[in-house]
Every structure is written in structure tokens, then in C-alpha cells.
Structure 1
Amino acid sequence: MTAMDNARELMRPDRVWPFLVPPAPPVDVSHQVLLYVEGLSVSFDGFKALNDLNLYINDGELRCLIGANGAGKTTLMDVITGKTRCDEGSVYFGQTHNLLEKSEPEIAQLGIGRKFQKPTVFEAHTVFDNLEMSLKTAKGIWQTLMARLAPRELDLIDQVLDTIGLKEQRFMLAGALSHGQKQWLEIGMLLVAEPRLLLIDEPVAGMTAEETERTAELLTSLAGDHTVVVVEHDMEFVRSIARTVTVLHQGTVLAEGSMEQVQNNRDVIEVYLGEEA
């Protein structure tokens, strides 16, 4: 692709730039609830991926979502982030932001960040570059070409590097990082955009035991300043971080509570945890 082709792609009239979306009004969490999901249903060719699902996530909490494949976990996150439209129900961010009326860039601008299972870092760029490109700043075309980071932005990147444990790797190419480090970098790429809600999908898949332990510490440290929702199949990992666990089954909430309560729930034992409980 030539430089002119790149320029045409960059300026494409149908392209939606997150930084061009007007700043969102504050999120109202006066009732301590950040995310309201009520009566949510989604069907694909007659299959109900979500079935009258109700879910409430408190501001600043760490919530784990578990369930067998096909339970509706990914579809739920797709609806929250605007990737999939629902058939029925409502999804509110705080008490005033109706997510079902917003586009994906608008939802990201509100402060909702999502990390998929497979890390999607820019491997040919340094760790620092990856974080810089993810900053939530109103950079137009000219500003991007002539970019100079403000002191606050440099401080934010330093803070995030410290949080994700990659200060010593700041000038290393992302492609040279270990699998676990790439996962942490991608979490860092979300953090520099200063999200209110983090949706993290299977963060420890393929990690070593040491990396898994470090990831548990990282996610636990983020709760409070951020609201963190973790989807994970590794029950040992869930046990290590769980405060509240929601079990999904056939598109609806089967059980909810502490890990101990969920483990001792007869329905959960029967349909999901089995002998692991």
C-alpha cells in the first residue's frame, strides 16, 4: 500500500474516530452500581445466547464470570461494548448512559475497555509506543504526526508501566515479550485510556504458574480505582481473585455470591463445577 493509499484510508469518510466523539457527561453511580443489565436476551438463528439475563456490577468491584462454553459470557460482553445488538432488555452504564443507544467508539469514550483472550499488541513497536498509541487524547492527524507527550501523559505511562511490571521493558519490542508480558501490556494499553470499567477475557490462558500469580495480583490491585469483570475458565485462578462470582448457564444467571457459596450451590455443582467443587 502506497503512502497515498494510507492517507486515503486514514481520511476515509465513514471512519469513526473515538477522539472525535464529544466528551461524555459524568457517570452517575450514586446508587453504587456501575453497570445495570436487565432482561437481556440475544438470539442467533433461533439459539438464545442470552435469555432474560439480569446482572448488576458495583462501582469498584472485582467480579468473576464463569460458565461452560456457550453460557453467554462472550455475548454479554459483546452487547456491553456495542459489538452485538440485543433482542430485548436494557444495559446502563451508571444510571443515565444507555449503552444500547451508543456506538462502539462512544462506549469506549465513556470509559469501558475490553481485553480479548489473545493479546493484540503492536509487536513491531516498543512497549512504550504501544502505551503511547493507546492514550485517550484528542489527537488529530497533524497532532499525531507532530506528537509531543505532555508531562501528565508521560507520568501516566510511567505509572502504568509500574502497575503492569514492565518498567524495565519499556523500550523492548512488544514482539519480544513473553506471552504473559504481552497480556500485561494489553491490560496497560487499556489502563492508559483511563477506563472506569475493564472487561477482561481469559487473562491467564497459556500462562506459566508464576505469570498467573502475577496476573492475579495485578487484577486485584486494579479493583477499587477501576471496576473489573473477569471471564475465566481456570477455577484455581478464579478462587485466587474471586470476591463475587456470577455463574452463567444457558444465557442466564444460575448462581451468584462468594466462591464458597457458588461452590456449594447444588445447581452449579450439577451443571458446571462437578467434581471440582
Structure 2
Amino acid sequence: MNAISHSVSQFVNREQVFDFLKPQENPLIDTRHNVLLYLEGVNKTFDGFKAINDLNLYIREGELRCIIGPNGAGKTTMMDIITGKTRPDTGQVWLGSKINLLKMDEAEIANIGIGRKFQKPTVFECLSVWHNLELAMTGVRSVWGVFRATLNGEQQDEIQRVMALIGLQDHAQLMAGNLSHGQKQWLEIGMLLMQKPKLLLVDEPVAGMTHQEMDRTAELLNSLTGEHSVVVVEHDMDFVRSIASTVTVLHQGHVLAEGNMSDIQSNPKVKEVYLGE
């Protein structure tokens, strides 16, 4: 049997638990200094517009950091740079002290342990909650792959654990398209968690949510700290107050201020450029 035939025979074996189902944590991630993400001296210009201007940002291991700032402050560009979608003109971006993210592409960065959730939830609406989570864990890029793979008890337990964490344990067989807006947001966070990211980037998670869903989202994001570092970009200041221990304010691509919420609210520069006072 040649190598291709052998690989195909393994893939269609429904009793086989594939290696790609087994989550891996990259051994190169070194956080001995308690800093998971470093951005130092980062600059990015688009057609003469300086979107990022000498940006220095440090995210500690296991922390929840909120990033705020007016439109055009550079928040999205910053996340694009971290995830490899955009290359900076100058500067350094490291995961831990050994992994240079600027030498990796988007797929490699995702596989190394960085998950990103965009504002609009992206779930497979024609699949159940369970199968959405299973698809995210396996890394298979086709529905056929999900139904071909057989999960062991440990992997099924992991799906159950994440479903309980995101509050959808009673909706395992519900089609994702039938979930509320907030539930879809939680499901997408759950799909990212199935990939066991060290760093989770979350863009405006509560846009369009009810107050009850916002409260539940705050609980969810707070529950992730410790095991994950979570960076939340958000405009809703009431929500930021409910979750933030450290807030970073971006303005014109640069860190304008950083500290706890009381420090930020009393900072005269922040009042002027962001809070409109």
C-alpha cells in the first residue's frame, strides 16, 4: 500500500481518533517573565496615514485587558498585526519571549495559540451547537470530516465542558442558526476555546446584545482569565467597567493612557480625546 492509500484508509476509518483531534500547546511559548504578548515600537502607515504610531503594548499571562479608543485609534489595525493579517512597517511582535509573530503567517499564528473573534459572529448555522464545537476542535475544514471522525471520551468531555462554560449545555443539538444573537457570540467564543488558545482577541463582543446577555458575557470573559489571556476591544463603557482591571486607551495609533478604570476616567487627556469632556 503506498503512502497516499495508507493516509486515505486511515482518514475514512471511523474508529480512528486522529492526531489532529488532540490539542497541542506549543512548547516554545515562554512566559517566564509573566508577559504573553509584546508589541514594541510598532508602526504602520497606509497611503500616508499613520494607523499605528510607535505602539508599545504588553499583555500579561492570564489577564483580561480592555482596549478602548475613538474610531481611527488603531484598534483593528493592532489586532490585524497581532494575527498576521497586516505586516507593520517597523517594530517587534512576540508571543512569549521566543516566538516572533512577524515571521509567521495567519494560519501559523492561529495554530500557535492566538484566537480572534470578530464583531459579527461566524458560526455554522446549519450545524448543531455540538457539531460547531466539534468542527472547531478537530480542525477539519469540511462537514464531512466531522462526521467521519470518532471522538474519544476525553474529547467528548471537553466539548461538554466548553458548552457548560458558554452556557449552551442545554442546546447541544439545536441548530446554531436558531440561537439568539448573544448565544451565537458565546458559541463562537466556545469554538475558539476548543482550539485552546493562550491569547484570545475579542472585538466588540456585546454589540447588539440585551442587558442580560451582556451580563452573561461579562461572566464568561472573566471566567477565562488565568487559563487564557483575553484582550477585549469594546466601545460600551458600562461593559468595560464591569470587566476591566486594566484598560489601555489608544489614540492615533499610540497608547494614550493605561491603568485601572478610575485612573482612565480621571485622566484629563482621555477626557479630552475619548470621553468628550
* TM-score when normalising by structure 1: 0.88
Q: Deviations over 1:63-109 (max 9, x none)?
A: 00000111000000000000001100000000000000001111111
2:94 alignment counterpart? 92
1:207 alignment counterpart? 209
On the 8 A contact 2:135/2:143 being kept in 1, the answer is no
2:68 alignment counterpart? 66
Q: Does 1:75 align with 2:77?
A: yes
Q: Does 1:156 align with 2:158?
A: yes
Shift of 1:268: 0.3
Shift of 1:144: 5.3
Distance 1:159 1:266, change over 3 A: same
SS at match of 1:134: helix
On the 8 A contact 1:136/1:194 being kept in 2, the answer is no
Identical pairs, percent: 62
1:135 alignment counterpart? 137
Q: Deviations over 1:20-56 (max 9, x none)?
A: xx98433100000000000001111110110010000
> Partner amino acid for 1:76?
M
SS at match of 2:200: strand
Q: Deviations over 1:95-150 (max 9, x none)?
A: 00000000111111111000000000011111011000000558999965621012
1:246 alignment counterpart? 248
**Aligned positions, number:** 256
On the 8 A contact 1:244/1:259 being kept in 2, the answer is yes
On the 8 A contact 2:62/2:225 being kept in 1, the answer is yes
1:180 alignment counterpart? 182
Q: Does 1:273 align with 2:266?
A: no
What is the RMSD of the two structures over their aligned residues, measured on CA atoms?
2.0
On the 8 A contact 2:43/2:88 being kept in 1, the answer is yes
Q: Any stretches of 5+ residues in structure 2 without a counterpart?
A: 1-19
Distance 1:180 1:144, change over 3 A: closer
**In structure 2, how many angstroms separate the alpha carbons of the residues matched to 1:163 and 1:145?**
24
* TM-score when normalising by structure 2: 0.88
The equivalences for 1:97-108 within 5 A come to 97-108=99-110
SS at match of 2:134: helix
On the 8 A contact 2:134/2:146 being kept in 1, the answer is no
Distance 1:271 1:141, change over 3 A: closer
**In structure 2, how many angstroms separate the alpha carbons of the residues matched to 1:168 and 1:240?**
27
Equivalent position to 1:191, from 189, 193, 200: 193
**In structure 1, how many angstroms separate the alpha carbons of the residues matched to 2:41 and 2:103?**
16
Distance 1:136 1:97, change over 3 A: farther
Equivalent position to 1:30, from 25, 29, 32: 32
> Partner amino acid for 1:29?
T
On the 8 A contact 1:23/1:109 being kept in 2, the answer is no
On the 8 A contact 1:66/1:248 being kept in 2, the answer is yes
The runs of at least 4 aligned residues of structure 1 exceeding 6 Å deviation read 138-143
Shift of 1:168: 0.6
